Amino acid sequence: MFEGGVVVVGDVTKPDEVDRVFGEAVDALGRLDLLFNNAGRGSRGKPIDEMPLEDWFGVLDVNLTGSVLCARAAFAQMRKQEPQGGRIINNGSISAHAPRPGSTPYTVTKHAITGLTKCIALDGRPFSITCGQIDIGNAETEMAAVIGKGVPQAHGEIRPEPMMNVDDVARSVVHMAELPLDANVLFMTVMASNMPFVGRG
């Protein structure tokens, strides 16, 4: 834990727990200046008609409902505190622009995060609340480890893809977070340079 920090554990899919987590954090720290909306999960790659509904609801609950609940709690605190304001950074994805085969739940939620980002950025203007989104492609994390081993491509082949160090993502988030509230990175894409994104499909 960093100096002066506090760790509060909760389930982002449960409104009461989200309210408790934000309440405990503000009680400990006095105010809220930054939310990095980072909770997320994926699902097994399947075409939509083979997609288990538990995968759909599970991804929707974490990736979208969880992000909305956390943004809602953060926005409320940032609006009422003095001095007013703060920054929300949503974790999007390359999938917010171009899907992978069989990724309906994940891709749909990441497209929705883009809409959430735009709504908060607009609605936050009168209250000095900024909102931006970082779209990440092929960072070396536990969740994305399979990509480096081989994933389905649009033409049906399974191929490993280039990966990047997750520290580069962290530096990008820190850059967004450290800007003054009169400046905002609305959207940033950080990705492994040679991953098949621009040429995907």
Q: What's the rounded Cα separation, in Å, for the pair 127 and 74?
A: 12
DSSP state of 4: T
Question: Which residues are known to be catalytic?
Answer: 106
Answer yes or no: are the C-beta atoms of 74 and 66 closer than 8 Å: no
d(CA 156, CA 11) in angstroms, rounded, equals: 37
CA 136/CA 132 separation, integer angstroms? 13
Phi (first) and psi of residue 53, to 5 degrees: -65, -25
∠ Cα 180 185 190 (to 5°): 130
Nearest to 191 by CA among 142, 146, 130, 144: 144
Longest CA pairwise span in the chain (Å) = 55
Q: What are the structure tokens assigned to 25, written together? A: 């954090």
